[in-house]
Structure 1
């Protein structure tokens, strides 16, 4: 029970930072462009530094843990389900559907995942495989799709060049490279005077993303667009209900996990949608209301799902 309460503190902390962003927007702190500036700075500067700092000091064996198979397959399942439902019922254009897919499968592995892994699972490194999967696979695919569908240009040359335009991917791969070289050398190869500035810049990413998200709530009402409500409810159900169920089935029957490994995979699959999805939507100015409402409802309902999982499996 103490571990569960500590994890709930993580949700409370996030709520406070979002509230600060809302209040700042309410009193027009920074002017009307503040939200856009925070989103762009986080996307291009602080978030890549954060991913580099996390992965550079992580052991490669932890990053490529077998649980990454469960994380990938359970995310792929809910993403494909949303694509199928969109084709049959919602009929969103490609860019909005991409936000829907990301809303369904993208885990808040950092600012909620870390406290959950620490206080419920007792091992913060369990989120490393998810960070790797999302930043190396799902994020580039989502951003490439958004770039192609919003620019109206799709070509093999442009697709091949997309990874070079994704700061998060570049930061993640650089961090993995430093981790590999450090493992070979037997010590962390970056001197502090080089690593600490990047680590300091990266520390600003999560607060900026959360405050920008809070600013987006000012002057708007969640679920205001009636036409979006079925899709929003669908992505929240996929994220907070179907994905943990898929993770349990894959962990138990496919991977043969039992005990803490099984419990950890299911709990992490129940994490809410990451605020990064709103950051991406704002970056391409598409599906912002859809992303915001999905993240908000997912964040509000995820603690209930995690509490139920803890009661059943812990």
Structure 2
């Protein structure tokens, strides 16, 4: 338990550093954007390629993936029922709200936690592959069909599948399945670049808190509260019972599944809501509040399961 808490303190200190750097404009106004692009296009793909490539197929496509996928789908269905029966939201708003209650921040927070706190970045691979390869394309398609924007389904799907993290993960899967030994002249530069990923993500995650934000826009309290409860409480509870009771995973794998499920809603949700012009306030408030709530929730999970 002490080791886990120490890891959280280290992770938290870098997040706080990112906040202070951005709040005091030490790195300039465009620092967050530049570091985010470096991490997204270079460092994170390098990290996912190296970790997935060295993993075993059972670690990526085994019971852990089933646990995480089922918990995501359960949260989506639950929010959709609340949205249709109680909040009377439009179909597009229902899609955004469902994402806010289930789409985990596997990038900015999930990869660092898996790599540093759980000790294995491959722990994030199952949910990351599912979200990038299946969940995101489905959401893009639904938003194209239900939003007020003129549909351009081909462009949206191309954008979803051209994600560099997804492409690097698939490349890692190919290496993993074929047992190909990547030449050192190629692998060593990739491993060096992968070292940027975790600190870079944590810094930008902290920087994101420095922006001025207004919480709980008028009329969004109910839907936001629903999304927060589903994301921060219901989804990890479902993951715990699936991992420990149904699939009977080891204690370490149970904690990994529950921590991954307890991650906050990803910032991608707000990006998609903005792009399609629907549910922006819900996505913004849901992302921020689930992020704030996830910190004590994950600490409690670590305390109970470690």
TM range (shorter): 0.7 to 0.9
Deviation of 1:270 (Å): 2.0
Provide the residue aligned with 1:235 in structure 2. Answer: 227
Separation in structure 2 between the aligned mates of residue 77 and residue 228 of structure 1, nearest angstrom:
22
> 1:173-212 maps to which residues of 2 (within 5 A)?
173-181=170-178, 183=179, 185=180, 188-189=181-182, 191-195=183-187
Provide the residue aligned with 1:29 in structure 2. Answer: 28
1:306 has 2:304 as partner: no
Separation in structure 2 between the aligned mates of residue 91 and residue 37 of structure 1, nearest angstrom:
40
Name the SS for the 1:256 alignment partner. Answer: coil
Separation in structure 2 between the aligned mates of residue 97 and residue 40 of structure 1, nearest angstrom:
30
Do 1:267 and 1:306's aligned partners in 2 also have CA atoms closer than 8 Å?
yes
> 1:58-69 maps to which residues of 2 (within 5 A)?
58-69=55-66
The count of residues paired between Structure 1 and Structure 2 equals 305
Q: TM-score, normalised by structure 1?
A: 0.75
1:129 equivalent among 113, 126, 140 = 126
| Bigger Cα displacement from structure 2, 37-46 vs 88-97 | 37-46
Residue 6 to residue 210, structure 1, CA distance change in 2 (3 Å): closer
Do 2:44 and 2:165's aligned partners in 1 also have CA atoms closer than 8 Å?
yes
Deviation of 1:243 (Å): 0.7
Q: TM-score, normalised by structure 2?
A: 0.76
Deviation of 1:73 (Å): 0.4
Residue 227 to residue 237, structure 1, CA distance change in 2 (3 Å): same
Provide the residue aligned with 2:4 in structure 1. Answer: 4
Q: CA RMSD in A?
A: 3.9
Separation in structure 1 between the aligned mates of residue 269 and residue 293 of structure 2, nearest angstrom:
17
Separation in structure 2 between the aligned mates of residue 203 and residue 276 of structure 1, nearest angstrom:
23
Do 1:209 and 1:279's aligned partners in 2 also have CA atoms closer than 8 Å?
no
> Deviation string for 1:42-69 (max 9, x for gaps)?
6666655554454334333321232111
Do 1:136 and 1:172's aligned partners in 2 also have CA atoms closer than 8 Å?
no
Do 1:136 and 1:169's aligned partners in 2 also have CA atoms closer than 8 Å?
yes
1:80 has 2:50 as partner: no
Separation in structure 2 between the aligned mates of residue 36 and residue 147 of structure 1, nearest angstrom:
27
